[in-house]
Amino acid sequence: MDTNQETAPPELPCDLLFLTNEFLPIGGGVATYSFELANALNQLGHKTVVVAARRNAQNVAFDQGLNFRVVRAEEYQVGLFRHWHRFITTLSVAAECKPRLLLASDWRPGLVIWLISRLLRIPYAVSAYGTEIFIARANRVSQWLAGYVFRQASVVLSISHYTKELLCQFGVDEGKIKVVPLGADPDKWRATAAEIAEVKSRYGLQGKQVILTLARLTARKGHDVVLQALPSVFAAHPNAIYVIAGKGENEAKLRQLVQQLDLTQKVVFTGFVPDAEKAALYAACDVYVLLSRQEGIQVEGFGIALLEASACARPVVAGRHGGVVDAVEDGVTGLLVEPDDVVGVAEALKALLRDEVYARRLGENGRKHVETQANWRNVATQTWMALQQSNSSTRS
């Protein structure tokens, strides 16, 4: 691939131009969604060009390994200059590749896409997750701008039924909303026996019943509730151990809570986990737990890590919040509990650690669900159908 990726023109023609503020290699659910959707659309033959924000010096090297084109807009700290440069970059790419459709990753890049849509007379769509809708409610200006972007879009892609409810409460026409739940790659989430053994050896997990949370260490992920449930779990299963994988601003508070609960010998903090090692870590656990909840304006629009654990055939315990109910089928692929119910969380964990046959069945059901339904190929297929339908109705 051309190393001068910022100036080389994309191939013609282009089916979809996708503008996103978050894109791999940075982490997070929106970045994962943006990358996986663009990748799957291209694999299906729908040529997609991505315009993404520049986050660090590694981005260009990452983009060169892809089989589709990514153009990075310069990142400025001052919002006006940042949006202006993204507009100029996106307009330039759109003028060159003449896309049939435009897509924004949420309403904020949707402002740029809306303007380009008006200038070039190309229909556009916008995706929605959850937290950014609460951000839009912060003041009258952002509320009006977000509402205008949603109203002018030909379709609004919602990642869960929870997010759809938020959109309807925000005033978006229900008939314009298309729910397309997220997915996972069943081929990516596999680990060899050697990789699993290495992870277990590194963190001292051999012969242990492993409970895992692999997620950013933020308050809304519910690590603290898991920790409060652990004394009861460890009393019933003294061979169990809890692995907290990832980094985040809540790490110091979690370490302090571990000390207060006298769990220092039973809790492992791994720190940052590279993408290449995540599958082995999922596979090394017996139960994956993620107790997402609302913290201020932060909500869980879906919970993609739950599908990743399912793709590794691991049973999950999840907080019944937000879009999580679209990611986990209670009693089939995992167990749903109230995210702040310490006793309920403890009982769910003990049930899965106690009954290995039951736990294995839930994990296998989760794997099958990813293989047959909740995968990125299906997400891309449903997304393209929604975009095509909206494009047809716009022209009719």
- Res 111 pLDDT > 50: yes
Q: Are 278 and 214 in contact (CB under 8 A)?
A: yes
Give the pLDDT band of residue 4 (cuts 50, 70, 90). very low
- Res 195 pLDDT > 70: yes
Entry pTM: 0.92
- pLDDT for res 2: 40
For the chain, give the secondary structure using H, E and C. CCCCCCCCCCCCCCCEEEEECCCCCCCCHHHHHHHHHHHHHHHCCCCEEEEEECCCCCHHHHHHCCCCCEEEECCCCCHHHHHHHHHHHHHHHHHHHCCCEEEECCHHHHHHHHHHHHHHCCCEEEEECCHHHHHHCCCHHHHHHHHHHHHHCCEEEECCHHHHHHHHHHCCCHHHEEECCCCECCCCCCCCHHHHHHHHHHHCCCCCEEEEEECCCCHHHCHHHHHHHHHHHHHHCCCEEEEEECCCCCHHHHHHHHHHCCCCCCEEEEECCCHHHHHHHHHHCCEEEECCCCECCECCCCCHHHHHHHHCCCCEEEECCCCHHHHCCECCCEEEECCCCHHHHHHHHHHHHHCHHHHHHHHHHHHHHHHHCCEHHHHHHHHHHHHHHHHHHHHC
- pLDDT for res 5: 45
| Ramachandran sector of residue 237 (left: φ over 0; alpha: ψ -120 to 50; beta: rest) | beta
Find the range with the poorest average confidence among 5-9, 25-29, 183-187, 312-316.
Answer: 5-9
- Res 392 pLDDT > 70: no
Portion of the chain with pLDDT greater than 70, in percent: 93
- pLDDT for res 77: 65
For 226-272, how does the pLDDT look when each residue is reduced to its tens digit (9 = 90+)?
999 999 999 999 999 999 999 999 999 999 999 999 999 999 999 99
Higher pLDDT, 391 or 44: 44
Domain coordinates of the chain in residue numbers? 16-183+375-391, 193-372
- pLDDT for res 282: 98
- pLDDT for res 393: 55
Domain 193-372 bears CATH identifier 3.40.50.2000: yes
- Res 56 pLDDT > 70: no
Distance from the Cα of residue 26 to its chain's centroid: 12
What is the mean pLDDT of the segment spanning 212-238?
Answer: 98
- Res 374 pLDDT > 70: yes
Closest CA to 291 of 333, 343, 345: 345
- Res 10 pLDDT > 70: no
For 317-338, how does the pLDDT look when each residue is reduced to its tens digit (9 = 90+)?
999 999 999 999 999 999 999 9
Instruction: Tell me which amino acid residue 344 is.
Output: G
- pLDDT for res 30: 93
Distance from the Cα of residue 33 to its chain's centroid: 6
Q: Which residues, at least 6 apart from 334, have a Cβ–Cβ distance to it below 8 Å? A: 306, 310, 315, 316, 317, 318, 328, 362, 366
- Res 307 pLDDT > 90: yes
Closest CA to 211 of 345, 368, 357, 29: 345
- pLDDT for res 55: 61
Angstrom distance (rounded) from CA 2 to CA 330: 48
Closest CA to 90 of 108, 73, 76, 74: 73
Portion of the chain with pLDDT greater than 90, in percent: 88
- pLDDT for res 85: 84
What is the mean pLDDT of the segment spanning 366-385?
Answer: 98
- pLDDT for res 7: 47
Around 391, how many Cα atoms within 13 Å sit in the side-chain half-sphere?
A: 18
Give the pLDDT band of residue 189 (cuts 50, 70, 90). very high
Q: Does 16-183+375-391 match 193-372 in CATH topology?
A: yes
For 154-169, how does the pLDDT look when each residue is reduced to its tens digit (9 = 90+)?
999 999 999 999 999 9
Find the range with the poorest average confidence among 6-10, 206-210, 287-291.
Answer: 6-10
The topology (CATH level 3) of 16-183+375-391 is Rossmann fold (3.40.50)
Average pLDDT, the chain: 93
- pLDDT for res 13: 83
Closest CA to 227 of 346, 142, 133, 131: 346
- Res 149 pLDDT > 90: yes
What is the mean pLDDT of the segment spanning 376-392?
Answer: 90
Q: State the Cα angle at 288 between 303 and 247, rounded to 5°.
A: 70
Closest CA to 185 of 102, 273, 282: 282
- Res 126 pLDDT > 70: yes
What is the mean pLDDT of the segment spanning 189-206?
Answer: 97
- Res 140 pLDDT > 90: yes
